[in-house]
Amino acid sequence: MSEKKQFKLTDDLLIEALKLEIENVECPPAAPAWRKINTTLQKKAKKRASLSIPWQRYALAAAACVIIIITSFAYMNDSWLRQISDDQVHLFEAADTPMMLEVDNDQEQFYGRGADMSQSAIDQLYNFASPDPAPPDWPPVLAGEFVLTDMLLLAEGSALFSAALYHGVEASFLIIIPLGEEIELTLFVQTLSSFLAIPLSSTTEENGLLHFDLNGNPGLAWKKGTDMQALLVIAGFIEDEIVRQITRDIGNSVDGKQQ
């Protein structure tokens, strides 16, 4: 107890001694010291300013060039996409493809609450998938804004699924087909959920179409004869009108039960 008291006292004395050491030092006058500091600071500021002007000019010029290039590219790209999109819309209007899916209000909600658009969701996908070196000729060209960007193999030892990755402005999704033996539609979705390590939140079967939800990512699976396909939104929102369009496109290659 007495040792503790002694120790505390020493601390107090130490603080007092330090205060004396620091605050009682005989100090040279402050004014000349400040003049020197101020002069040095101003010189350095001028030097920096003179150095920064050419740098800023170059930076401005470079920024202007980048903006012009990006704007031109975006304009060209947009015109090209619009042209393709217009062509396809025209094509589908001409073709008498069966209406595969009747989207009701529930489905509108379903597709409206897709996961947030994020690059991480897409990056995560590549943890399970690798580019398909010899992609099959099945993925359809979709109308509207969606562009096929990658063909993937989802493999665990042997290849389990083949997938086509589509990107649009507001959403990204996969169209997936199983590569193994014929299985039930529900098992197909369960295997997919297990493979992607995303829990299967819900499934609803309606008119031969299996609506499912992989932890907030809405999806739709269906069967044509022995062939199966699934559409899984991995990021963003897909409006019901666009789903109609996509299913019309895919309707060329699969049968859905029409209402």
Partner 1 sequence: MEAHEIVKLVGQNDNAAFHQLFEAYYKRTYAVAYNILRRKESAEDITQDAFIKAFQNLHQLKDAAKFGAWLAVIASNLARNYLKREKKVILTDEQPEQAVDQESAGTEDSALHNMEMNRIRRAIRELPADYYQVIVLQYYHDLKVEEIADMLQIKSGTVKSRLFRARQRLAEILELSAASGCLKDEGGGTGNERKETI
Q: Which residues of the chain form contacts with partner 1 (CB under 8 A)?
A: 11, 13-28, 30, 33-34, 36-38, 40-41, 44
Q: Crossing angle for the helix pair 105-112 and 240-250, nearest 10 degrees?
A: 100
Q: How far is the CB of 16 from partner 1 (least distance, A)?
A: 7
Closest distance between partner 1 and the C-beta of residue 25, in Å? 4
Give the nearer residue to partner 1 in terms of CB position, either 14 or 95. Answer: 14
User: Which of 25, 134 has the CB closer to partner 1?
Assistant: 25
Rounded distance between C-alpha atoms, residue 219 and residue 172, angstroms:
12
Residue number with CB closer to partner 1 (44 or 82) = 44
Q: What is the C-alpha separation between 191 and 206, in angstroms, rounded?
A: 20
Cα-Cα-Cα-Cα dihedral sign, residues 53, 58, 62, 65: positive
Nearest distance in Å: CB 19, partner 1: 7
Question: How far apart are CB 21 and partner 1 at their closest, in Å?
Answer: 5
**CB closer to partner 1 out of 36 and 113:** 36
Q: Which residues, other chains included, contact 52 with Cβ-Cβ below 8 Å and sequence gap of 6+? A: none
**Least Å from the CB of residue 38 to partner 1:** 7
DSSP code at position 149:
E
How crowded is residue 173: how many other Cβ atoms within 10 Å of its Cβ?
A: 28
Whether the Cβ atoms of residue 232 and residue 214 lie closer than 8 Å to each other: yes
Shortest separation between residue 110's beta carbon and partner 1, angstroms: 48
Judged by CB, which is closer to partner 1: 10, or 118? Answer: 10
Contact 214, 193 (CB under 8 A): yes
Indicate the residue among 41 and 187 with the shorter CB distance to partner 1.
41
**233 and 173 Cβ atoms separated by less than 8 Å:** yes
